[in-house]
Amino acid sequence: MLEGDKLFAGSIPENYDRYMVPLIFDPFATDLARRAASFAPRAVLEIAAGTGVVTRALAPKLAPDASYVVTDLNQPMLDYAASRQAPDSRIQWRQADAMALPFEDAAFDLVCCQFGAMFFPSRPSAYREAKRVLKPGGHFLFNVWDHIKENVFADDVTNALARIFPNDPPRFLARTPHGYHDTALIRSDLAEAGFSDVVIETRAEQSRAPSARLPAVAYCRGTVLRTEIEARDPGKLDAATDCAAAAIAARHGSGEVAAKIQAHVIVAVA
């Protein structure tokens, strides 16, 4: 992962929430919230909350006296998440780095994280922090994307952009969001952090959009891929988006489109 892969700023948070969340994140957020609620936690910490899709799904499922601390490394993402959340006295918003959580030991029953572990500079260190703030027997619940070949629209966009920039193809999607898919490595990193009870489930969903252009806009303008495109040629964002849309239409049709998305869901017990 490159340092710039963590910079979700400018118009990216709004475009991310508008396009990426319904395209790929909603079904997995619903799944994660259901799993989290099944543990009946009273004190919850969410790491790398992004624009708050899990927060919006999980908060209504928590007990009236529960506490819910929602964090993200990027203040613009956290601000956007807070703006989308209904007033709720149980929720506290905190800018926080998963590598050095500003919380006491054994403070939470549940730590959850949707599609954030791929961005951690050192996963064992971040997992060690999650274990530190969990009460004994508490649950660490998170998910990560599977290989980019199992996530069709992301693969389509990546391949299309390689044709626009053949000498220096933007590889953000393959490198970071889809770069941490090896379940053996995930288990090893959790073991290094001190987790011994780990269950991993691979889950497939369908990504749907009303047109081929929407996934192209979502990936090219609602992720750090936009930064990579503009770094190569500031004037080619529109052309890159058009190329990605054409590639998706060629493969999936010009009307409504649908394709496979797949992720690993991990539960580890402290």
Span 96-135, pLDDT tens digits: 999 999 999 999 999 999 999 999 999 999 999 999 999 9
Task: Residue 245: count other Cβ atoms within 10 Å of its Cβ.
Answer: 22
Instruction: Answer yes or no: is pLDDT of 14 > 80.
Output: no
| Nearest of 52, 45, 47, 44 to residue 77 by alpha carbon | 52
The answer to whether the CB of 172 falls within 8 A of the CB of 224 is yes
- Average pLDDT of the chain is 94
Alpha helices by DSSP H, the chain: 12-15, 26-38, 53-58, 75-84, 123-133, 152-164, 172-175, 183-192, 213-221, 225-232, 237-252
Q: Any idea where the domains of the chain sit in the sequence?
A: 3-269
- Report how far residue 226's alpha carbon sits from residue 71's, in angstroms, rounded to the nearest whole number: 24
The answer to whether the CB of 247 falls within 8 A of the CB of 219 is no
Instruction: Answer yes or no: is pLDDT of 77 > 90.
Output: no
Q: Which two tokens stand for residue 163?
A: 């044709």
| Nearest of 71, 123, 136, 58 to residue 101 by alpha carbon | 71
| Nearest of 164, 162, 157, 177 to residue 221 by alpha carbon | 157
Instruction: Answer yes or no: is pLDDT of 263 > 50.
Output: yes
Instruction: Answer yes or no: is pLDDT of 165 > 90.
Output: yes
- Report how far residue 59's alpha carbon sits from residue 33's, in angstroms, rounded to the nearest whole number: 8
- Report how far residue 50's alpha carbon sits from residue 58's, in angstroms, rounded to the nearest whole number: 14
Using DSSP's 3-state secondary structure scheme, residue 49 falls into coil
Pairing of strands 197-209, 257-269: antiparallel
Q: What is the band of 12 on the pLDDT scale with cuts at 50, 70, 90? A: low
Task: Residue 34: count other Cβ atoms within 10 Å of its Cβ.
Answer: 12
Q: What is the band of 5 on the pLDDT scale with cuts at 50, 70, 90? A: very low
Instruction: Answer yes or no: is pLDDT of 270 > 50.
Output: yes
- Report how far residue 202's alpha carbon sits from residue 194's, in angstroms, rounded to the nearest whole number: 23
| pLDDT computed for residue 6 by the predictor | 39
Q: What is the band of 226 on the pLDDT scale with cuts at 50, 70, 90? A: very high
Considering the domain 3-269, what is its CATH architecture?
Answer: 3-Layer(aba) Sandwich (3.40)
As beta bridge partners, residue 267 has: 141, 199
